[in-house]
């Protein structure tokens, strides 16, 4: 892999953003439902929730899981869950 100035700069920015105590993937998995609720209410004022959000924005696996959780919460709120038949058709198409 060739190291470019942009890659080095991105790496240095990520290092500069680190802290002694950071949220890890395990913490994110445990508390992401609280973060979804807070985001839906527009109230992410607690430092712990802000730290969770920062982790979700920087960690691709957690971001993907968070997106699914957020989509489920939105469908719950809007009562817009697809039917069981629609879900099975989607699984068959993608499987």
Two structure tokens written together for 48: 């712990």
Rounded distance between C-alpha atoms, residue 38 and residue 40, angstroms: 5
Return phi, psi of residue 20, to 5°.
-60, -40
* 18 confidence band (pLDDT: 50, 70, 90): low
* 21 confidence band (pLDDT: 50, 70, 90): low
Crossing angle between the packed helical segments 25-41 and 60-78, to the nearest 10 degrees: 40
- State the pLDDT at residue 20: 58
Rounded distance between C-alpha atoms, residue 38 and residue 46, angstroms: 9
- Summarize pLDDT for 32-91 with one digit per residue, the tens: 999 999 999 988 888 888 889 989 988 999 999 999 999 999 999 999 998 999 989 988
Q: Any residues with CB less than 8 A from the CB of 29 and at least 6 apart, and which?
A: 62, 65
pTM: 0.65
Q: Tell me the helices (H) and strands (E) count for the chain, helix number first.
A: 5, 0
Rounded distance between C-alpha atoms, residue 85 and residue 77, angstroms: 21
Mean pLDDT of 15-26: 74
- State the pLDDT at residue 17: 67
């Amino acid at each position: 892999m060739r190291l470019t100035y942009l890659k080095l700069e991105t790496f240095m920015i990520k290092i500069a953003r680190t802290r002694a105590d950071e949220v890890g993937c395990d913490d994110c998995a445990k508390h992401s439902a609280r973060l979804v609720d807070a985001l839906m209410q527009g109230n992410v004022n607690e430092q712990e929730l802000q730290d969770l959000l920062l982790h979700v924005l920087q960690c691709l696996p957690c971001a993907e899981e968070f997106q699914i959780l957020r989509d489920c919460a939105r469908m719950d709120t809007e009562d817009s869950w697809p039917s069981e038949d629609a879900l099975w058709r989607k699984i068959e198409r993608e499987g």
